[in-house]
Structure 1
């Protein structure tokens, strides 16, 4: 596990990188989208996947869009090592408090993860027309799409990423969501010799 401080657009981040299996768990907005970094860490620990989280140790949390997260050393190492990315994000759509939007460029992998999450108390949506445009995660500059096999962007409502919706330390991801993503990752690891 390697920790490094980086600065992107004047914002200081602490990154935590652990290179392991070919699937990579990514949390670009761990300080802003509560529970995403904790969720990524727990899934990675249970599946042996590669992990990269970004948090902001000081100052008010600032959200830099994914497509503007520059290729700092930890992100470059992650994108070079992993072959498929699962990027965890948070959404606050009041009209969809129990909806997990499953975007990203790798649609077969997205369907695998959605199937694994179907048993949770949340509803996964994989049809791109049913995902709000800003949450689809399809831009080529989005890190989720820059590994060899592209990736899956999971946009999670507050209660799907933390059992403490008010600011707390630490955030605790819901067990059903952790179990669902773990099951999906394991299915992806077993499928087609690791190709999706």
Structure 2
């Protein structure tokens, strides 16, 4: 586990990087979208996946869009090491408090995670139809790190209750057990499928 301070657009971040398997768990906005860094860390620890989280130890929380998270050393190392990225984000759409938007360029992997969420976290509704996902949450831009690994990736936009059981700012962030279990199962299946295909095959 390697921790490093980086500065992006004048904002100081603390990054935590652990190199593991070919699937990478990424939380770019751990300091802003509560519970995403903790959820990524827990799932990575359970599955042996590679992990990279960004948090903001000082200053007011600042949200820098994913497409502008510059290629700092930890992110460059993460992208070079992993084959497929699962990027965890948070949304606060009042009209969709139970909806998990499942975007990103790797649609087969997106469906694997959506199925795992449907089976193991039935209180939430995973949505994979891109035309029904709000455009800012689709995670399809080529400059978004989720799409910059060899097999692209999946961007999960999670409502508050799907990423933390303690949403008050003063409480520690504890991801819901059922969501942890669902993502763990999904990541394990994706990892198995990656190992079963040759480099020339599509996931």
* Residues in 2 aligned to 1:186 and 1:70: alpha-carbon distance in whole angstroms: 29
Tell me which residue corresponds to 2:179.
Answer: 177
Structure 1 residue 77: Cα displacement:
0.1
* Residues in 1 aligned to 2:194 and 2:23: alpha-carbon distance in whole angstroms: 14
Output aligned runs, 1:51-90, within 5 Å.
51-90=51-90
Matched length = 196
Tell me which residue corresponds to 1:109.
Answer: 109
TM-score normalised to structure 1 length: 0.98
* Residues in 1 aligned to 2:131 and 2:148: alpha-carbon distance in whole angstroms: 22
Work out whether residues 5 and 14 of structure 1, in 8 Å CA contact, stay in contact via their aligned partners in 2: yes
Structure 2 unpaired stretches of 5+: 198-202
What is the Cα-based RMSD across aligned positions, in Å?
Answer: 0.9
Tell me which residue corresponds to 2:139.
Answer: 137
Tell me whether 1:49 sits opposite 2:86 in the alignment. no
Structure 1 unpaired stretches of 5+: none
TM-score normalised to structure 2 length: 0.95
Work out whether residues 27 and 40 of structure 1, in 8 Å CA contact, stay in contact via their aligned partners in 2: yes
Work out whether residues 2 and 16 of structure 1, in 8 Å CA contact, stay in contact via their aligned partners in 2: yes
Runs of 4+ in 1 over 4 A off after TM superposition: none
Q: Secondary structure of the equivalent of 2:22?
A: strand
Q: Secondary structure of the equivalent of 1:24?
A: strand
